[in-house]
Structure 1
């Protein structure tokens, strides 16, 4: 009994009452209270808590509650990754795969990304799909890419759903299937992916893999345009010029043409057509363009 009491006393000394737990840290972090999270996570990370090491590494990487410091981030992420933490492996993989960083190491980054993907992390599976698609200039392996994207898409990873839909649309790595493509791209569009909104709008407008409806297709294109997609902005400008799916409105057309051009999607044909507007119409279009604020992409 005396030994048990002594052991309990030592345990209480080792774990002071009121000491923060990793759940406390996560709660502060999720609430955006990075100063508190940083203070509480350091002792846990120094004690070898894997989740704490990963979280501390991410905070240094992202400059949350502390000045951004990639070297220190790696110091904490690496031991967590070595112990099998998939999110730490993924974060480290992104660091090594950053071609703009002097630390760039494709082989090391690919290895870590694969480990995280094989552990079931959807974002890592998506990135493996991109890598297999030739994102770094390698010869594309679309079958492998589709396999990874399917795994991520099955977990609801939005970008994976969109990109997998594109593969079905083009018949790369999977059988060409416009219906399956429209289904996947439509799901990603519903979740707010601007590229998916653009492509789904085109599919609906043309009736590819889904029932044709120019009005609904135009609305999807407008949603993508409002989120800052320059290709969508250009297409919306054309819709308003010709009155396709929307009421003809040259001023609104010029607004979207101005925005698309500013984003690098110039259209000489539209410029020529819209040059015929009155000065008052041009001023109104410019005012609308100047007042435009893109909808934030979640």
Structure 2
């Protein structure tokens, strides 16, 4: 069969697109393509197995994909290391993925440098990586950069990045923007706008926004 078609057919079975939903067929098709050397299928099978909590097998397929230079496979492998032990390996893998232009890896490696997780704490590297991802349109990186700049008391620049994240519908960005309007950070105090952005984030289940909205409504 066509190796390239197998994972796409597997995806159709996994989501019930034009065929009856069948997770077993999805897994079998992924395996057929993965075992024939498709890096795309190896990554997707790794992700499927990860959700099934078959972590050791998932890890093996991420390794196979990463060894072929598959960017998302490298990211998946880094994710496994980051959640388990061996964060030094995660940093190494993220660095490789960053070189390949992986935006999510830029953001995750930035977080590792900001927190000193598995790497030496380096705020300048963290900021640079956040900017790389944020300027490529990653909403979470835009929020992370906004929060980073806010902590550095660079409020006017911080709010610009919160706006970018909020405009993409990211709840954390909406909350950050509400917080700036509430306290007048980088802008004039505007309780109406603060309430608007808190409410948007709260509607998405963002707990901090729910708490701050209640405090605002209580006049605290």
List gaps (5 residues or longer) in structure 1.
1-47, 277-298
Pick closer, same or farther for the CA change 1:253–1:120 going to 2, 3 Å.
Answer: same
Moved more, 266-275 or 155-164: 266-275
Q: C-alpha separation between the residues in 2 aligned to 1:154 and 1:68?
A: 38
Aligned to 1:157: 102
Q: C-alpha separation between the residues in 1 aligned to 2:15 and 2:35?
A: 21
Pick closer, same or farther for the CA change 1:267–1:72 going to 2, 3 Å.
Answer: closer
Q: Secondary structure in 1 aligned to 2:4? A: helix
* Counterpart mapping for 1:4-19 below 5 A: none
Residue 50 of structure 2: which of 84, 89, 97 is its match?
97
Structure having the higher helix fraction is 2
List gaps (5 residues or longer) in structure 2.
none
Q: C-alpha separation between the residues in 1 aligned to 2:122 and 2:58?
A: 33
1:193 aligns with 2:146: no
What is the Cα deviation at residue 273 of structure 1?
4.1
Aligned to 1:83: 36
Residue 114 of structure 1: which of 54, 63, 68 is its match?
63
Q: Deviations over 1:76-103 (max 9, x none)?
A: 222211111111111111111114xxxx
Aligned to 1:259: 200
Residue 219 of structure 1: which of 136, 160, 169 is its match?
160
Higher Rg: 1
* Counterpart mapping for 1:1-298 below 5 A: 48-99=1-52, 104-134=53-83, 138=84, 140-207=85-152, 213-262=154-203, 263=205, 264-266=207-209, 268=211, 271-276=214-219
**Scaled by the length of structure 2, what TM-score is found?**
0.87
Contact 2:199–2:210 (Cα < 8 Å) also in 1: no
Q: C-alpha separation between the residues in 2 aligned to 1:55 and 1:117?
A: 20
Contact 1:240–1:249 (Cα < 8 Å) also in 2: yes
Aligned to 1:294: none
**Scaled by the length of structure 1, what TM-score is found?**
0.66
CA RMSD in angstroms comes to: 2.3
Whose RCO is larger (CA < 8 A, sep 6+)? 2
Q: Secondary structure in 2 aligned to 1:225? A: helix
Pick closer, same or farther for the CA change 1:272–1:110 going to 2, 3 Å.
Answer: closer
What is the Cα deviation at residue 235 of structure 1?
2.5
The size of the alignment, in residue pairs, is: 218
Q: C-alpha separation between the residues in 2 aligned to 1:237 and 1:75?
A: 47
